[in-house]
Amino acid sequence: MTSQTPATGCPYRLDGTGSDIHGEAAALRALGPAARVLLPGNIPAWSVTDPHLTQRLLTHPHISKDAHQHWPAYTNSEIPENWPLKIWVDVRNALSAYGPEHTRLRRPLAAAFSPRRVRALIPQIERNTHTLLDNLQTAGPDNVVDLRARLHWRLPLLVANAVIGVPEDLHDDFRGAVGDLFATNLPPEKAAAAPAAVYGLINQLIAHKREHPGDDVTSSLIAAHTGGQLTYQELADSLMLLIGAGHETTVNLLDHASVNLLLHPAQLAMATTGQISWEHVVEEALRHQAPIATIILRFAVHDVHDETTGLTFAQGEAIAINYAAVGRAPGIHGQDADDFDVTRTTVREHLAFGHGAHLCLGAELARIESRIMLAALFARFPHMRLAVEAEQLRPLPSLISNGHEQVPVILGPAAT
């Protein structure tokens, strides 16, 4: 974990390698409900760690996500063109829009994640899960396999690509390109190459769906573009949002849930015997390890004074929400908030999928995928164990994405 700058202790320099997300979150929490920080590239911002302040800011009418309108440092060209995180504020989609623009850009996506459409995906999720487990089982009971690569990545990819309409021959290409969007320790040249690679694939996808339209999000977005409701950039950036951020959340949720259950066999037994529901397990996993550790960025449209904390976010200041810290607030979850505990009564009191207008559209789909996958995984491989000590699991090199580079396990004999 990085330390505060030695002269004043403020601002706190965030660690772009993501080496100790929760140690950093605790240090920031000790500085107050929000603290001044430096993002990678020495970009000043606030990091918000208090859940109540987070909720107030996420619903405040004068807090925006649109850098093009409300971040003077960006509009005045004070942010370097090679800033490694620039793609996160360059994009024009529902994640980065404000007010009526947000409503306009979110609307064509919302239909794909309606309760009816999500429920209709359940049989496909179940089929995909059992196919992936069949493939995993071929590794044998004693060999080390990477659960993240073989399972956690694959299921959300298959589901997301079905919703979006990605042809099978582009699946692995997208998988390889998307990961670098979330890495926050890359040199500028490599950071710039990541979105370029994803945009290249998105252009291929759009061209394919123009020729082969279907009942999928890409075809709907193309129709909206053809009808003049979306620019081409908004079309491409909306697909980047769905393929990138939407997929990454579910991967990390499955990753941390699996690891925590392997580390807590008594709690795993409670889930597999029905003493605790898989729904409860998933919510505790979301609380304990927010899949997106820190989301960037929001901006104060005008000076925003929070009476409860006495803090003022000046017009144009950048704000990052530290969901990793929010999920472990002792004031809500007690002094054992750092512990994974599926019997906790406050498991639903988290903001891992956001809050307010920008609540994640795919939240319910991610929950359903995770419940189905976790139940089937531990039913199939009841003797599975980690192949390394927990301390040897390497975190992703990101202050945004909270997961592991690999999850090596030994499956053990499969259930008959």
| Whole-angstrom distance, CA of residue 201 vs CA of residue 244 | 12
Structure confidence by residue, pLDDT tens digits, 214-273: 999 999 999 999 999 999 999 999 999 988 877 889 999 999 999 999 999 999 999 999
- Strands 43-48 and 34-39 turn out to be antiparallel
pTM: 0.95
Q: Of 177-181, 205-209, 276-280, 284-288, where does mean pLDDT reach its minimum?
A: 177-181
The backbone region for 174, taken as left when phi is positive above 0, alpha when psi lies in -120 to 50, beta otherwise, is: alpha
The neighbouring-strand residues paired with 37 are 12, 45
| Whole-angstrom distance, CA of residue 213 vs CA of residue 216 | 8
Contact 337, 329 (CB under 8 A): yes
SS3 for 155?
Answer: helix
Domains of the chain: 12-410 (1.10.630.10)
For 180, other C-beta atoms within 10 Å of its C-beta total 17
Structure confidence by residue, pLDDT tens digits, 224-238: 999 999 999 999 999
Task: Please report the pLDDT score of residue 311 as a whole number.
Answer: 98
In this prediction, residues 6-30 reach a mean pLDDT of 85
